[in-house]
Structure 1
């Protein structure tokens, strides 16, 4: 579980491809703890659950997304 203090300084980012300015999107940002972990949350529920990924997990996801592995349409 991640504490509110750990999330306090996260610089959240929303995709520029978000259709409505971020209201129906996810936000991601690096934790400021020196570990390289990335936090992920829903933009409409900023105070709800947060998922935290290690740097290798995040990089694997980004690489897969760039390679089309998550193009489900």
Structure 2
């Protein structure tokens, strides 16, 4: 299977730069993500982590209000 991919790619001039670019993009992205995780404010992380619970509370409140109207 690899020979079907590797053969045509070897005939392209400068194709060896693409794996290097891919590795650099991968490394830069995960380095930036790692940096962001450790420098993010704890209050922001707490606020964002509570969003699903807040939405669930709002939905249950709306359902209860609709049932009370009926």
The alignment's TM-score, normalised by the length of structure 1, stands at: 0.22
Greater share of residues in helix: 2
Indicate the structure (1 or 2) with the bigger Cα radius of gyration.
2
Give the number of the structure with larger relative contact order, counting CA–CA contacts within 8 Å between residues 6 or more apart: 1
